[in-house]
Structure 1
C-alpha cells in the first residue's frame, strides 16, 4: 500500500502527542508529588525547581500538536474541539492557572499567598493528568458522530467507565514518571524518598495500566497495538527494576518508554480512524476524509522538516544546561 501524506501526518501528530506526554507527564507528576512526597515547603520548592526551567517549553509540544491537527486534519480538529468543548476548556483553564501559579508563587513573601499557589499547582496537575486520559480514552472508544461528521453526544457520554479508567491510568502513570524524575533530579533525603515512592507507585500503576490496555485491545486491538501494549508493561516493569537497583537514569528512560508505549497504543488502535463513530462505522472520521488537500500537506511537510530540528536542538540544550541535581541546600533561607 502506497504511503500517503495524510498517513505521514497522522504519524507526525502521534509523535507530537508522544513528546508532549513524555515531557509533561513527569511535569504533571511533579506537581502531584508536591503534596504526596514533599514534607515541608522547602521540599515543595525543590520539586518545583526541578521543572522550573522546562515546564513552559514542554507545553510547546501541545501547541504544535493542536496546530498541526488544525492544519493537517481540519475535520478532526473541528469535531474534536466541538465535541470536547467543556473538557478542553477545563484543560485550558488549568494550563493557564498552572502557569500563573509557577510565576506568581514567589511574587510575594506571604506564607498563605505561596501556599495557595502551591495548591493550584497540585490540583491543576492532578486534573490535567486525569483529563488527558479521559479525552484520549473517549477518542479510542468512539463517539456519537453523525453523518455530518459532528459530535451529537452529551457531556455524560464522555464520562463512561472506559474513559474514566483511562484517566486513572494516565494519572497513575504520570505520577510514577514524575517520581522517577524526582529521584533523578534531586539529592539527599528527598531523593531517597522519591526512589522508594517510585517503587510503590510502579506497583500501583501496573494494575490500572494492565486493565486499560487489555480493555483497549478488546475494543480495537490488532497485532501492532498488542505489541505496543506488551512493550508498555515491560517498560514499566523495567523502570521499577532499574529504580530498585539504583539506576535512576535507566529507570527514567524506561518510565518514559512506558508513556511512549501507551500513546502508541492509542494511535495504533485508532488508525486509520482519527475519531471513530459509535453510531455508524461509515460516519467515522478517518485520515482520508478528515485531512487537508495534498498540496497543503506537502507545504506543511517542508515547513516541519525545516523547523523541527531547531526546536529539538533548543529543547535538548535547555535540558542539558539544567541537568544538575538540586536539594534543600540550594533553596535560599529568605524564601
Structure 2
C-alpha cells in the first residue's frame, strides 16, 4: 500500500444503525448522507443502510438525492432540504425526492414547477424555532399553511412533513424551540391531516432528549460512529472508518509515513496520538505528503500506522483529533482528498 487508505467497515455501520434505531424507537431513523455520507461514500452508505432496513434518507441537496435514488430505485424516501434552483426542483420531482421548504418564495417556485410538470410535489415545511437557519417565521406560518392547503386541494402539493433545526445550546432553549414547533404542528393539524414526518432533532438531541423526538429523527454523524465534539462516547456505536498510512522510511527514533497535508490532514494535528503495531505514538510533524511519527521497537518500512479509528491500536478517534483544533469530527473525515483511497473492508 503506497497511498493512504480510508478503510470503511460495513459491519460497524450496520451495527451502529441498529444501536441508533433501538435508542430512538419508536421514532423512525432518517440516515443523513450529506458531504458524500460524511466522506464514507454515498452509494456505499445507501446500499448498506438499505440492507439494514432503512427507509428514510436525508440527502441535504437535490444532486445527492438523485444519486441516492439511482441506488434505491423505486424504494425508499429521500429528503433534500437545501433551497434549490428550478432545474433542481424539476430533478427532485422527476425522482420523487421530498423537498424541505423554509421560505414562501421557495414554496411558490415548487408549486409552479409541480403545476408545469403535472405532478404532486411532496414538501416538508420548516418552521424557524429560534436558530434562524432558514425557516418560516411563526408570524408567517398560518398564511403559509393556508397556501399549502390550497395547493394540496389543487393537486400540486402534499404536505409530507414539518421540521426544524435545534440550536442545542442549552436544554432550556431547545425546550422553547419544541414549543414553537408543536404550535406549528397544531396550526397545520387545524386545517388538514397531520403530516407523516414530524422531525425536530438531529444526532445529539435524538440521542439524549427523547422528549424532543418526532415521528422521524435525522441522524448522520452518529450512524457513522462520529460522536459530538466535547460529547461523551456513544453506547453501542463505533467509528466506521479508520485512516491508515504506511511507513516509507525509518530513521533513528522516527517513522516517516505516506500521508500529509496534501491528503487533507491538518498540520495543526501534530502532537496527537496515532496507532501503531506497538500501540500509541506521538504524531510529531505533518509535512506536505508525509508525516513523522515517534518510533517503536522493530519498526520497518511497510508497517501500518492508524491516523484515526476505533482506538484498537492506540489511535485517536476523528472527533478526538477534531477537538484539538476546535472543530467537529466530520470535518476530519470530509476534508480528506482524493489521494486517500476509500476501501470497503467488511
Regarding TM over 0.5, the answer is no
What TM-score range do you get, normalising by the shorter chain? under 0.3
Q: Normalization by structure 2: what TM-score?
A: 0.22
Structure with higher helix content: 1
Greater strand proportion = 2
Larger radius of gyration: 2
Give the TM-score taking structure 1 as reference length. Answer: 0.23
